[in-house]
Amino acid sequence: MIALPNLMVAPNGARRMKADHPALPITLPEIVETARACAREGADGLHLHLRDTEGLHTLDAGLYREALTELRAAVPGMALQITTEAAGHYAAPHQRRVALESGAGLVSVALREMVKDTPDVTATDFYAECAARGIAVQHIMYDATEFDLLARLLPGTLLHDSGLQLLFVLGRYSIDQNSEPSDLTPFLTRMKSTGLTPDWAVCAFGRGETACLVEAHRRGGKLRVGFENSIWHDDGSLARDNAERVRQVHLACG
């Protein structure tokens, strides 16, 4: 399976639009150019969200296959991960189908979304099928209590595999969606108590993104940065574009 990159850029997400920031990439050509610029600044991975012709979040396996083909040619040195985010529009069966049919080697999947209106056994079978096909799933965790859900859903061989990939989301459900480095502590405490040794990464919302990612790097984690989570630098100024965010975090983490 493909390993988790050290510094992944998430340039757009499912919700922000050009009105939020004019440099937010919406079309595939814009995403490709953003990927190139971010690679030059040190990003070795791309978290891919696609939009439809109206600029809205879409999970279309065919569109993802086409986008991945173009991106592999444009940025051959970047790991490419697709989203399966529901964003209020897609149910778990559709999300699973996109993960399996897009041709991606890396996918991100929220644990809580996989069990929404879904029997545990269905989610467990999905994770096992991804592993059998060589698809690396990064499990999105919004709260440290989701380690219980992880243990409940993953086959033991996957749960204790050194290649287990996790993403800790900081600040998403705070009142102002801002994050701070202390938000990481519950995840690390719980991870240590479980005895798991996963390949883990962090994303962080709002103006605290840089400080949180620096702390995650200091604690041995990998990083996801970009306009999906924050359009601001650590001094509160608006970033010019995703590449500038990548540059700041890359420099801050040495």
Amino acid at 181: P
Mean pLDDT of 145-158: 96
The predicted model gives 215-233 an average pLDDT of 97
* 3-class secondary-structure state, position 184: helix
Q: Is the alpha carbon torsion for 169, 174, 178, 183 positive or negative?
A: negative
Reported confidence tier of residue 128, pLDDT bands at 50, 70, 90: very high
Domains and CATH numbers, the chain: 7-252 (3.20.20.70)
Letter for the amino acid at 79? A
Q: What is the pLDDT of residue 123?
A: 97
What is the share, in percent, of the chain residues with pLDDT greater than 90? 95
Task: Give the least confident one: 63-67, 178-182, 242-246.
Answer: 178-182
pLDDT one-digit tens code per residue, 225-254? 999 999 999 999 999 999 999 999 999 998
The burial of 66, by beta-carbon neighbours within 10 Å (0-12 exposed, 13-18 middle, 19 or more buried), is given as middle
CB contact set of 234 (below 8 Å; sequence gap of 6+): 207, 208, 209, 210, 211, 248, 252
Whole-angstrom Cα distance, residue 126 to residue 110?
Answer: 13
